[in-house]
Chain A
Amino acid sequence: MPPPEKLHALRELLARRFPTASQSLRARCVATGVPAIDEAAGGLPVGAITEIVCAAPSCGGMLVVARVLELCRAQRLRVTLIDGSDCFDPQSFTQDALIHLVWVRCHTLRQVMQSADLLTRDANFGLVMIDLRRQAERELRQEPPTSWYRLQRAAEQNQLPLLVLTPRALVPSAQLRFLLNHSFALSDLDSPRALLADVLPIELSRQRRQLEQEAV
């Protein structure tokens, strides 16, 4: 029996033996409002880390954050943004779109990871976002992978979707990884934000598990 079939058979066997465990693997997702993400994976899986790699300048990473903020606002979910390099601009949003946001202004990666560790364990948040762009490459390299697995465990335990924006693929425990590598043009600044999100070119580069999606 070839390895993929063996793996499939093993998964079926485990699902039969431990039906409750297999049910817990059914993922709920939080819709993002970005069609490319919602169609590819159903949204941000609850209890897992989703990584969005912003490989090009002006590729729309903050546009994804804006859409997620908007949808969470409509659902009255409390959201926290751990801003690794203090670059979030509230003036790009209306006041009402920010009323559910807890903005954490960090200046070092250490602050980011410590804050994420605390906030991911809090039951009051519906979504945690971490922005790691503009972080020093040296610091990012020195961050041990175990930190990300620790965060993933915390998110899983708390049933919390965790969204991480990175300059390159660096979260080993990410369940989903999307890649943004197309820059917008100057003329796009005139288009409505929702329209820009509809045409956002985003590529799914990792999906660790075939999830039974159930949009929230």
Chain B
Amino acid sequence: MIYAVLHVSDFSLQAVLRADPNLGIGAAAELAERQPLAGDPADAGQRPALLSEGADTRTPGGRSPRSALETRVESGAVPPHSKTEAPPGSAGVPPASDLLRPRRPRSQEELPLFAPIPPPPSDTPFAVLSGDTKKAVVLQANALARAAGVTPGMSAPQAQARCATIVFCQPSSSADREAQQLLLACALDVAPSVEDTAPGICTIDVTGLPAEERSRHVAHALCQLREHGLTATGGIAATPLLALYAARDTTSVRTVENAPAFLHRLPLAVAEPSGEQTSILAGWGITTLGQFTALPKPDVVRRLGTEGFALWERARGGEPRPLRPYAPAQRFAASMEFEYEIETTEGVLFILRRFIDRLALELRTAGLVAGELVLGLGLADETTHERGFRLPEPTAREDILFRTLFTYLESLRTGSAVVGVSLRVLPARPLVRQPGLFETGLLDPHGFSETLARVTAVVGSGQLGTPELEDTYRPDAVKLVPPLPLVPAMDQPPTWPSTGLPLRRCRPPPALHVELTRSGQPAFVSGAQLHSPVAAARGPWRTSGDWWKPESWSRDEWDIELAAGGLYRIAKIGEEWYLDGEYE
């Protein structure tokens, strides 16, 4: 058996950072400042709209988002994501409560929302705290923070004293879950037999892959993870534990072929001894796995007991074992609840992009595509905004799925800020068919759908579509329906071809003053648009309908030609005259 392990170091920290809209948008903005956005020029100048009305100034409750965050700091709690800064003019380390400031996006003018989201800036020290109280301790820290002397177990002020620019985060179960799902989706892209070993660790049975292909597949999975905001390493070995050691001992992919030689130089800490074992073994002068495994096993058991035996086994790299298989997702969904209110689309789009990247990967792994998206926004007023999007053509392409949501969110206004977001994908089988030779379907179904959505955002809902005549004689009884994806062939030509000029209808019909002849025909019309004697007239054509309903209608219509030129249809409804339209 050959195993591969994908390992995400500082998993909670990376999970939080990749799910943090502030950091992601800040990093994106930094990237945008360095290099212009390459892509659709039409998108370059767009600025995502505010989700909440008036959110740029004040929250519905009357407090600005900044002041809300600052209030939390004053109460002694550490905000979910905060950056420490030395106050101007202060030489020493200021109190944490005074220094913690929310990190906001620097520039939101040219966010590359359609570009892959870059990882958080690597030049910033980060640490995950165990909670939001003053006694919270550091759980994980990135390399930059560790280099500055920050170690797990330190309190926030201690960490801050060693690294003044450190940025604190809090662990998020939803971010962890999302990152773990991403890790498993990437692992399933390598081989079907995958084990969800631990947070940030998954083990893959790669026995079925050709030996020379294993490294390449694992490296591809690492690239996918990196694209989606997780930095991971990979190891390939004969046992799961050995593969994990290999993954922890490299920055990319490492294959262990000679296990004793590999283990010989590894430090003892790799096998995770307890504190007591570490001190005992240090007293024996043992610092590497090779030195420890050189001791006779019975002697180790006699002196260190069963715990020593387990450590000795771990130091040998463990044994091959069957994996606990992870069942791939049958339900393609993602959700996240924010610890603070989000009032602009950037934050929501950031998270949705993460969701879509992961769900698209899962769909591709399962051989499926997205047929429909269901977006849910949890609002601060405890309501939920939900909207479904039926895709014109099923697809698993991330950019198309994201554009569908982006176009909608661009013009969305909600009553209050967003506190949670969910996305559900209804999967479908990929559409495989041969188009007909004379078929005049849509060249770009997704582009068509997006164009219509954008035009709808301009002209308003219900103002765009294919006109469909209603089954009634009532004037102007027309509704708009979504355009057909395929223009069908023509029906048989009508028995009676259309006659006369089409009408240009006045909506709403303006009132007219009409003078009649003795025989009751229109002789002179005057109104806002017309003022002329009538040269010729035909009518009346009396129509009525819906007499059994409250909205019954009845009217007399006349076609008139004015002496000044022009053909018009006028109508008498009750005792009032109206201009229906102009024949043209």
A103 on the interface (CB 8 Å rule)? yes
A111 to B464, CA, bound (A): 12
B448 on the interface (CB 8 Å rule)? yes
A124 to B441, CA, bound (A): 8
In the complex the two chains form, is B499's CB within 8 Å of A191's CB? yes
Contacts of A109 in B (CB 8 A): none
B478 on the interface (CB 8 Å rule)? yes
Contacts of B582 in A (CB 8 A): 57-58
| Closest residue on chain A to residue B496 by CB atoms | A192
Contact flags B426-445 to A (C-beta < 8 A → 1, else 0): 00000000000000101111
- If A122-B447, A186-B561 touch, does A102 touch B491 (CB 8 Å cutoff)? no
Contacts of A194 in B (CB 8 A): 497
Looking at the assembled complex, report how far the CB atom of A64 sits from the nearest CB atom of chain B, in whole angstroms.
9
Taking chain A's interface residues, is the majority helix, strand, or loop, or is none over half, making it mixed? mixed
Contacts of B565 in A (CB 8 A): 56-58, 183
Looking at the assembled complex, report how far the CB atom of A81 sits from the nearest CB atom of chain B, in whole angstroms.
9
In the complex the two chains form, is A189's CB within 8 Å of B499's CB? yes
Contact residue among B443, B478, B494 (Cβ-Cβ distance under 8 Å from A124): B443
Contact residue among A65, A133, A184 (Cβ-Cβ distance under 8 Å from B567): A184
Interface of chain B residues 414 through 460 with chain A (CB within 8 A): 440, 442-445, 447-448, 451-452, 454-455, 458-459
B296 on the interface (CB 8 Å rule)? no
Looking at the assembled complex, report how far the CB atom of B533 sits from the nearest CB atom of chain A, in whole angstroms.
14
Taking chain B's interface residues, is the majority helix, strand, or loop, or is none over half, making it mixed? mixed
A186 to B464, CA, bound (A): 33
Contact flags B518-542 to A (C-beta < 8 A → 1, else 0): 0000000000000000011110000
- If A57-B565, A87-B507, A123-B447 touch, does A103 touch B465 (CB 8 Å cutoff)? yes
Q: Chain B interface: which size bin? A: 35 or more
- Total contacting residues, chain A, CB less than 8 A: 61
| Chain A residues near B (Cβ < 8 Å) | 54, 56-63, 65-66, 73-78, 86-96, 98-107, 111, 114-115, 118-119, 121-124, 133-134, 183-186, 188-194, 196
A-B contacts, 28 of them at CB < 8 A, read A57-B567, A58-B565, A63-B502, A76-B488, A77-B487, A78-B442, A87-B504, A87-B581, A88-B467, A88-B505, A89-B505, A93-B502, A102-B465, A102-B466, A102-B483, A103-B467, A103-B480, A104-B464, A111-B458, A118-B458, A124-B444, A124-B445, A133-B504, A134-B504, A186-B535, A189-B501, A192-B498, A194-B497
19 further contact pairs, Cβ within 8 A, besides A63-B502, A87-B581, A196-B501: A58-B501, A58-B566, A58-B584, A89-B504, A90-B469, A91-B477, A94-B494, A102-B452, A102-B465, A106-B463, A111-B459, A123-B444, A124-B451, A133-B504, A183-B567, A186-B561, A189-B500, A189-B501, A193-B497
